[in-house]
Structures are given as structure tokens and as C-alpha cells.
A and B are shown apart, each in its own frame.
Chain A
Amino acid sequence: MAVSKRYSYSDTELDRYEGGVIEALKARSGEAIPDPDEWLDEDLSQNILLTTVDAVLNWARRSALWPVVCFPACCAFEFIAIAASRWDFARFGMEVVRASPRQADLMITAGTLTWKMAPQVKRIYDQMAEPKWVIAMGACGISGGLFKGSYSVVPGYNRIVPVDVYVPGCPPRPETLLHGIMMLHKKIAKRSLMQEGK
């Protein structure tokens, strides 16, 4: 829906515009999500790099994954629990939970996603700098969980953002989430600059 080019909008106009955005995203949600690295052309992948560079880079990347704030529902409290002293994910260089997506490279989707919320989450994901990863936390993050059949719930985050690791549970225990984070570390360790852009 086009927005008129005036300086300010009335509440009704804003509501209607936002409603349009939600409907548009909902209509697109069945499609495959395009690879964000597509624009990197062949030049880069034809360059030759030594594996040790990869190793160092990946080590640096996985040892300081900064999560972005994305806590819609109950799972958020298990996320906060691993941020608190008992599980303390500062051990993995993750304690800086960023409110600004531009400073983060990991999105832990802690909670149910509704269609009304979906455009915001998508926007936050789009604003994060590459390379970036997503952990779908909890049954709701994976498939909509308990609320799968509802008229307002997105059946899984992978409808709107690409997900790297799925952590089951309702909510997952902190240990489970830590395990998910370890799996993501392994995934990052396998990454090579040579692959980027493919």
C-alpha cells in the first residue's frame, strides 16, 4: 500500500499502512528466502585463501557472537536465565545483548511470532550485518508450537528468516539452548571464505 507523501500521518493512516505491510508479508511467507550473499560475485570466490585464515576468522566470529534483542514471549525468560549468573553465557563471549541490530550477528528468536510482529522481526534481521545467524528457540520458533493452528501465529520463524539451528523445547532448558549455541559454533567453524557468495 502506498503511503501519501505528507509529513505526518493520522493514526488511522498509520494503522492501515501497518496492516498492509503485515498482509503483504503474510502473502509472501510461503516463498523461499533469497540468499543474502547473492550479490557477491565470482571474483571473491575465485580468490585463493589459506585455510588458517578461515580458521582464525571463524574462531573470532564464533567466540564473540553478539545476540540481538528479540524476545517476544515466554522463552525469553530462559534466555535471560542463561544470561544471568547460573549459566552465564559470557563464557562464550555472548553477554553483550545488543538493542541495535547493526551491532549484532546472532538472532535468538525466543518466543511466539505473530503476524503482527513479523514485519518488525524481518526488519531487524535485514538490518543485522553479514555474516549473521539465527537460532530458532522453542517449539514456537520452530513451528508455532502450541499455537500452530491459530489465526494470528506464524508457523515458525523460517517463514520469514533463514534459520541455522533449531532448539526444541517449550521452553528449552538453558542447557539445551547452550547446546544449540555449541552446534552453531560447529557450523561456523566449517565455514570458509571460499564459499561465501555461492
Chain B
Amino acid sequence: MTVALSGKEMAGKLEAQFPASIIESSRASLIVKSEFLLRIAWYFKATPGFDFDYLSSITAVDYGNYFELVYHLVSLEHNHSLVLKTRCYERDEPVVPSLVSLWQGADFQEREIYDLMGIRFDGHPNMKRIFLWDGFQGHPLRKDYSDGT
């Protein structure tokens, strides 16, 4: 059984190393500030005991006044998982750091989020639309999207 690590406990462990980096933490997830995302992700990937070597999935949710990015991390070695999140309060030009340098599996998924949600990933090697064509207006998964019909 994959053990879901508690976001609250993780927050306690992170506090010393990355002060003021956490927005919120609960049993189910850990929400960090986006400027710390890359460093915290690296910490989780490289610290023995955590060894999150596998980034299972990335997705984004549009909550109106902010976007939330959800990262499902798994460690194949210890068989435990963690839901890491970050938020982006910008709507016109949202940018968050890319995790491709840590997990290449993020490549297509980040492009997908850029395409459908319009969030730009800083540091992504090939940031362009993946599903829709060049010239498509808007980002359909945003809640305020309408295609004019």
C-alpha cells in the first residue's frame, strides 16, 4: 500500500530549512509558495528518506482568484506519496517555475497546462501549445473561457 505522507508533518520538517515558504498544510497536501517550489521539490527528490524519484502527475485548477498547481509525487523506493501544491495569484501573465530539470516527466504535462490553462512555466525548454493550434484564442480550461458560441 502506498503510504500518503501527511502534508502537516512535512511542513514541520520544512520549516527550519525554508522559513516562510509554506502557505498552508493539511493531512492531505502541502501548499508552498511558488518561489520556493523548485528548491522544495529538489529537497524532496534528493533527501534520503524521502527519495521522491517519480512525479506521477501534474495538474492545475482554476479557482477564480488564483490557480492551484497540484503535483503528485511518489517514491518508488519507499512506496510513499505526497501531494505538493503551489499557487499562482496572477491571472494575465501567470508564471510558475518548471520542474522539467528535476523530472522530465513534467515536460508534456506542463505544456498541456500552458495550452489549456495558460500558465507559463519558467525554465521549460519548449514552452508552446501542445494540443491546440497556433492562433487558437484563449485557454479553454479556464473558468471564464468562452468560444464565442
Residues of A within 8 A of B (CB): 12, 15-16, 18-20, 22-23, 115-116, 151-152
| Inter-chain contact B135/A116, CB cutoff 8 Å | no
Of the listed residues B128, B131, B134, the one surrounded by the most CB atoms of chain A closer than 10 A to its CB is B134
The reply to whether A18 and B134 contact each other, CB–CB distance below 8 Å, is yes
Please, which residues of chain B bring their CB within 8 A of the CB of A23?
Answer: 133, 135
A151:B135 contact, CB within 8 angstroms:
no
- Among residues of B, the one whose C-beta sits closest to the C-beta of A115 is B133
Closest chain B CB from A27 CB (angstroms):
12
In angstroms, Cα B136 to Cα A20, docked, is 9
Closest beta carbon of chain B to A29's beta carbon, Å: 13
Residues of chain A lying within 8 A (CB to CB) of residue B133: 15, 18-19, 22-23, 115-116
Q: What are the residues of chain B within 8 A of A20 when measuring CB–CB?
A: 135
Q: Is there an interface contact between B135 and A16, defined as CB atoms closer than 8 Å?
A: yes
The answer on a CB contact under 8 Å between B140 and A22 is no
Nearest chain-A residue to B145 (Cβ)?
A151
Which residues of B in the span 32-70 have a Cβ within 8 Å of any Cβ on A?
none
Is B76 an interface residue, CB under 8 A from the partner? no
Q: Please, which residues of chain B bring their CB within 8 A of the CB of A151?
A: 140, 145, 147
B92-130: which have CB < 8 Å to A?
128-129
B23 cross-chain contacts in A, Cβ below 8 A: none
- B132 part of interface (Cβ distance < 8 Å): yes
- Additional A-B contact list (11), CB under 8 Å, known A19-B134, A22-B133: A18-B133, A19-B133, A19-B135, A20-B135, A22-B135, A115-B133, A116-B132, A151-B140, A151-B145, A151-B147, A152-B131
CB of A188, distance to nearest CB on chain B (Å): 37
Write the chain B residue with the least CB distance to A116: B133
Cα–Cα, bound, A178→B110 (Å): 44
Q: Which residues of chain A have C-beta atoms less than 8 A from B135's C-beta?
A: 16, 19-20, 22-23
The 8 lowest CB-CB distance pairs between A and B, nearest first, are: A19-B134, A19-B135, A19-B133, A15-B134, A151-B147, A22-B133, A16-B134, A151-B140
A21 to chain B, nearest CB (A): 9
A115 to B128, CA, bound (A): 18
14 A-B residue pairings within 8 Å (CB atoms)? A12-B134, A15-B129, A18-B134, A19-B134, A19-B135, A20-B135, A22-B133, A23-B135, A116-B132, A116-B133, A151-B145, A151-B147, A152-B131, A152-B140
Q: B131, B136, B140, B147: which contacts A19 (Cβ < 8 A)?
A: B136
Q: Given the complex, which residues of B lie within 8 Å of A115, measured CB to CB?
A: 133
A19–B115 Cα gap in the complex (Å)? 14
Bound-state CA distance A43–B146 (Å) is 52
Contact residues in A for B136 (Cβ distance below 8 Å): 19
What is the CA–CA distance of A22 and B136 in the complex, to the nearest angstrom?
A: 9
Q: Which residues of A contact B129 (CB under 8 A)?
A: 15
A96 to B132 CA separation, bound complex (whole angstroms): 33
Rounded to whole Å, the gap between the CB of A47 and the closest CB of chain B is: 47
